[in-house]
Homo-oligomer: A and B are copies of this chain.
Amino acid sequence: MIVRIITVRVKKGKEQAFETATIANHEGSVRESGVLRFDVLRDNDTSGVYYLYEAYQDEAATVAHKGTDHYHRWKAAVADMLDGERTSVACSVVAPAHPHSW
């Protein structure tokens, strides 16, 4: 399993549009067979900061995700909403160890 934690900064005034576009991406992503989680979170203390918590069953699933229509629609939709580049950390899983717990 692979987890990516992505940090996104959204321009002031674009938060609602970003959330709408990202919920659509979430809904498509969780239907992919290799996607175990695709959580979208809003930082409570820093306005405009969001996190995507994406868990995949393997590396191939991360590649497949980037080939989907919902990913490409999201990327195009949010391009002008972002304040700087998004950052990403890639992680391996310590717990829960079993894919059925995801």
Interface set of A (CB-CB < 8 Å, partner B): 3, 5, 19, 22-23, 26-27, 30, 38-46, 50-51, 53, 89-96
Contact = CB atoms under 8 A, between A and B. Distances in A.
Copies of this protein in the assembly total 2
Contact of A45 (B38, B39, B50, B90): B90
A46 B54 CA distance: 19
Contact of A51 (B26, B30, B38, B91): B91
B96 A43 contact: no
A94 B41 contact: yes
Contact of A41 (B22, B39, B44, B93): B93
A42 B91 contact: yes
Contact of A89 (B43, B89, B96): B43
